[in-house]
Amino acid sequence: MIVSTVAGAVHGAVGLDAGTDGGATAAWTCLVRRGMLHSECEAVEHWVLPRGAALTTTPGHGVEEALLVLEGELRLTTASGERTVRAGQLVLVPHGRTARLAADRAEVRMITVRGLAASVADRLPPRVPELVRT
């Protein structure tokens, strides 16, 4: 179960890959954006993919992605093959890799977490916790 307040959150509809049913769109809500957590975290997003829709990760974005399927099942296609990802399973997409995630059978809900690749994060200055006086 996800408990969040989405009033005032960033919402949108995103066009999906060519070949989806009638140019389907996915419902998208940004839960966390860089600066709200650690600087290595780009975003945490909630996605609802309609049946027949697909998302493709883009290697040029410079991020690594974790995708947690909450409901439904996705068909994951990568250079190494194809597999089914079901509710409760997590997909890790390393930096520089392409993956296509398709909701072939029914609507799919998932959470994505995008973080900077280690080659980028390693160049960030070290964080020092702030001391808070009470």
10-residue stretch averages of pLDDT, the chain, 134 residues long: 41 49 63 59 86 85 88 94 94 89 93 84 68 60
pLDDT value of position 73:
95
Q: Domain 27-121 is of which CATH architecture?
A: Sandwich (2.60)
For residue 77, list its beta bridge partners: 82, 100
